[in-house]
Amino acid sequence: MTVFKDAAELRQYVGVLYDRAKADQRIAPKIRDSRMVIQFRYSEPEGIVTINASAPPTQPDALFDVLWGDDTGLKPDVEMSMKADIAHQFWHGKINLMAALTRRQIIAKGPIPKILKLLPAVEPMYEMYPRILKEMGREDLVLK
């Protein structure tokens, strides 16, 4: 059984994480300064989210834009593909990116060193994600 019952649920919970990250002063400036377009392609269920740090943000209170769907018109600098369950574990801080890349749990296209450089920027999301799940009444999804 997968963590998220459908694409709408994936977007509901992971979407809040991205929305908070794009305005968080511990995270957003570092991602903005990368000037990259990073796309996450989730499967089981399907979901595509693109981080656009290559242009000034158009979304309120954001330092970069977060766009859902495959029709953004942007060419990603980096594309990360994984099952949604792997993303769920990753955003809990339970998956080591290098190990996941080696095991092919996460498939990366693009300059891997640039992605690794952003890892410290996203570390605050590891504590943010379980807190969001609890706030949204989904403590059952929080990994121990």
Q: Please check whether residue 141 lies inside any domain of the structure.
A: no
> What span, in angstroms and rounded, lies between the C-alpha atoms of 29 and 53?
10
Q: Please check whether residue 140 lies inside any domain of the structure.
A: no
**Does residue 74 contact residue 67 with C-beta atoms inside 8 Å?**
yes
Q: Please check whether residue 144 lies inside any domain of the structure.
A: no
Tell me, what CATH number does 97's domain have? 3.30.1050.10
Domain that holds residue 29: 7-130
Taking only the tens place, the pLDDT of each residue in 106-143 is 999 999 888 888 899 999 999 999 999 999 999 999 99
Residue 1 has pLDDT above 80, yes or no: no
Pairing of strands 37-43, 78-83: parallel
Three-point CA angle 132, 133, 138, nearest 5°: 150
What the block records as the tokens of 68 is 């859902």
pLDDT score at 36: 95
pLDDT score at 114: 87
**Domain total for the chain?**
1
Q: Please check whether residue 1 lies inside any domain of the structure.
A: no
Q: Please check whether residue 77 lies inside any domain of the structure.
A: yes
What the block records as the tokens of 36 is 């990259």
Taking only the tens place, the pLDDT of each residue in 69-112 is 999 999 999 999 999 999 999 999 999 999 999 999 999 999 98
